[in-house]
Structure 1
């Protein structure tokens, strides 16, 4: 989703003569601010945050929420792009979502499983009184 957002936003900024030198976007899925995972009945939402620079050194920022994306073709949601703090555009979508038969980004493809969530927990245990508790080197 971040790649598709980057491509769509760069194209739109260049169309508006912002002359993008570089732009990098990141996406966080299911970020509702409360740390809870969305329920199965909710649409997957990605929060996007992009930073970049114009050819003349202007600062580009793009923020928003994406509710739908088709890889390389379009993004739908709420996006705001600024150059040097001035809003260049605020849109509910970029690109043509009907232009490709590709599945939506993040959606399962035919015969393949859908996305999963992996949680990693790291726990540090301090046990200075028990020398047998220290990790062994390999």
Structure 2
């Protein structure tokens, strides 16, 4: 499988602006700029997109592991916080709330750790990755 996205940028770093389009067109000419990345501007930014990718990938990986163990998932919600300091993503923290029938806290935490280490986006990030998970 191969996926792609395209970025088009016009102008200088601070005054310019760009548009992002994904292969599926889920993002189509989505605005991004210096202000949306480093200040409070309209549009998205690469770190926000990485956070979305990490949350989505981790959640799917956790779902696979829980299902493989024979537990029934009602829901999993994951928030990802990316910490971008001095031009480097230094941390990615996953906050997970899950409703899973009949799973023990210990089994759940083990599967969270396994998913945290093994989802494809975790593997590509050169950052400290952590998580906080709660069964609800």
Shorter-chain TM-score bucket reads 0.3 to 0.5
Structure of greater Rg: 1
Q: Which has the higher helix share?
A: 2
- Scaled by the length of structure 1, the TM-score of the pair is 0.38
